[in-house]
Every structure is written in C-alpha cells, then in structure tokens.
Structure 1
Amino acid sequence: MPLRMLPPAETAVLLIDHQDGTMSWVGSIDRAVMKANALALAKAARALGMPLVLTSSLEDQAQGPLADEFGEVAPEEYAARVRRTGVVNAMDDPAFAAAVAATGRRNLIVAGVTNDVCTVYPTLSALDEGHAVYVVADAGGSTTRTADDVALRLMERAGAVITSTNMILTGLARNWTSPAGQALIPIVGELIPA
C-alpha cells in the first residue's frame, strides 16, 4: 500500500501504551523525541476532529500510568482510555477493539510505545480486519534498533505503511492554507529542532 495523503474524515488515531514505565524501556530512539511525536499525533487528532483512541496496560505495575501530557492534550480521550489488564495485542482486548470499531474509520494511524510489542500485533490484527494502517515509526521505538527494524519490516511486509510523524502531519494538512493546514502548522512547528 503506497503512502498517500489521508483524509481526516476517514482516519482515526490509535496510541498504544505511551506510559511512564514503558517509555523507559525504549532504546532505539530518543525517548523525548518519541514522546513529543506521540503527543503531536494526539494534538493533530484533536485539531482535526479525528477519533483518538488511547490505551494502556497494567498501569498499576512497572508499566506505570499513561503519561499525564496526554490528559492535557486530550482530556476526554485520556479519561476514556482503555485500561487493559495485560493483554499484549490491544486488538484482543474487547474494549479496545470496540473503541476502534466505534470510530467507523477505515484508515488507522497507529503508534505504540514499543514497535516490536505494542504496535506490531494490533497492526497485524487491524490489517487482517481490512483496515489501511499507517504505522508512525518515530512515535514509538523498541528496546534495540535491531528489534525496531525487524518489527517495522514485518509490519510493512504485511501491508502497513511505515511512516513518520512529520509525513503523517503534512499528509493530513494537504495544503497549508486550508483549515486543516492552518490547524496543523503550529503542531508541526513544535517538532522542528531548535
């Protein structure tokens, strides 16, 4: 499936397990960059009125709570997040699967805190269900670069589009003078290194 500009009206954003503890397990990308990218996706979803589904796993254990910043960016979605009880593939959790189905969107922008665990399995399940899946590689990472490369290659071979935060945001904007473009300019601007 080629990368194409996504129509916001046909697209939902799924952010999986960006929790304080799980983010500390990532070694393949700068954690601050990864977190900023995931937050940018949440901001874009809110700015463009796209459904945003948040989930976490075992918040009361080593994984820790979903990062507070998501509550600041998307308070309703944060409060309604699906708190899984250890299910590795988020799509195997009935509440998460129902939340994804309730979006009614065929195109899914997916980012999990670890591409080799949190992202890969729900992506493969969503592809099996007929969704077009866009994996935002730099809004997640893995324990090692090798693990990250293997997971990204596997998802791409299965039919997912592997992309970056900036590519997704600019593809959603389509035209900087449009309402979507104007809403996304400040979010893209936050990601530009100082």
Structure 2
Amino acid sequence: MTFRNGLKSLLRPEDSVLVLIDHQPYQLANVNSHEPQMVVNNSAALAKAAKVFNVPTILTSVIADRGGRIFPQITDVFPDQEVIDRTFINTWEDPKVVDVVKATGRKQLIIAGLWTEVCVAMPAIQALGEGWDVTVITDASGAVSVEAHEVAIKRMIAAGANMMTWLALAAEWQRDWARMETAIELTEVVKQHAAGSGIAYLWEQQLLNTPVPSTAG
C-alpha cells in the first residue's frame, strides 16, 4: 500500500531500493537542464548516501559499448557490483533489472537517471502502475532541456510519483542525528558533495575548535 501523507509516507532505508539509470557519457553530453558537473556530483552523492544506509543499489546502462560506461564516481562506490547493460530504453521492460529489484523485497523504489524525460519517466510511470511507491531524485537526473526536465517531472507527479533531491532523501533516511551508526558517515558525504552545507559544517568545526582570545588583564 502506498501512503501519500503521514509518517508512513516518508522514506525508510530498510524499505528503499535505488536504481541508477544511464549515468553515461553520451547522455551527459546533451544534458542542458543542469550543469553537467552538478549531475555527476549529485549522482555520486546519492550513491554514497545509499551505501551509508545499506540501501540496495542497482546500476544499469544502455548499450554501454556506444554510450560509454557509467561514471566512475558512481561505480567506484560499488566496485564489486556488475552494471546491468540493456537494450531496452525503458528500464522497467527489462527483466534483468526488474527481477533484481523485486528480489530485494522492498517497495519504496527510488530512481535517478539520464535523461529525465525518457529513461527516468518511462520506468517511473510503469512501476507506479504496478503498485510501487516511486520517488525520483531530480537533481541526480537531467534532461536535454530545462523544459524537458520540468515537463517530465509534471508528468510523473500526475502519475503519482514523489520528487526529491539527494540531500532531502539522505535526511529522510537519517531522520534523527542521534543515530550515530550512520550520522558520521553521512556527514562525510555532506562535506564532500553538499557544497554550502558541507563548507558551513567545516567552518562550524573550525570555530568550535578555535580558542577564544583572552583579554589582557
């Protein structure tokens, strides 16, 4: 059952499964909805956050011989994991991917990929129709234009999908900073990838460790 409001609607690491779709050079070359470097940064951050919370993460590409391999910033997070290469444009039509996702036994399906209007929208909409609770990470995705990205988001929202950014997702998984088993590792991801928030945290640590000048007596 999918909950649209209330505490049960929030994402939980123990119920989540992440699918990263086609973060490849060919697709990145025509991303115009975001700065390409931010897509790489955010998708790497998303992958690292998933690893912190032990969220099963499926990596998939499309015709990698021509489109290129998935960004090393992602595959380095999961060095021993095989990337599932497809010919299907719609990931959710490829049983090689879907069977792995189903085997996790989880129903909170999180998707990010390139491009938003094609390789993200199609599996999101199909999975929604099959009863999955689908969340799209918009800043770890990208489209050929701002219009294409925005229209795809509207289309998926109309179909019932949730939209989030990677940092919001990480915070929702963490839920309580007293959960020290993940708080320290997540803070490292924030320092590396959250720009202003990460730098502000480092500044805070600097100030906390700076002695207060003594006044001359």
TM-score normalised to the size of structure 2?
0.83
Contact 1:13 1:41 in 2 (8 A): no
Structure 1 alignment gaps of length 5 or more: none
Amino acid at match of 2:178: T
Number of residues of Structure 1 aligned to a counterpart in Structure 2: 190
Amino acid at match of 1:158: A
**2:39 corresponds to which residue?**
34
**2:155 corresponds to which residue?**
154
State which of 77, 81, 84 in structure 1 corresponds to 2:83.
81
**2:105 corresponds to which residue?**
104
Deviation per residue, 1:132-155 (Å, 9 max, x gap): 111000101101011111000000
Q: SS where residue 76 of structure 2 aligns? A: helix
Contact 2:134 2:162 in 1 (8 A): yes
Structure 2 residue 60 is the aligned partner of structure 1 residue 55: yes
Q: CA deviation at 1:2?
A: 4.6
Q: SS where residue 95 of structure 1 aligns? A: helix
Amino acid at match of 1:118: C
Amino acid at match of 1:182: I
Q: 1:67 to 1:45 in 2, by over 3 A?
A: same
Amino acid at match of 2:70: L
Deviation per residue, 1:80-123 (Å, 9 max, x gap): 221002x1100101101111111211001110121111100010
Q: Distance in 2 between matches of 1:188 and 1:129?
A: 34
Structure 2 residue 72 is the aligned partner of structure 1 residue 68: yes
Q: Distance in 2 between matches of 1:76 and 1:104?
A: 22
Amino acid at match of 1:183: E
Q: SS where residue 26 of structure 1 aligns? A: coil
Q: SS where residue 60 of structure 1 aligns? A: helix
**2:193 corresponds to which residue?**
191
TM-score normalised to the size of structure 1?
0.92
Structure 2 alignment gaps of length 5 or more: 200-217
**1:142 corresponds to which residue?**
143
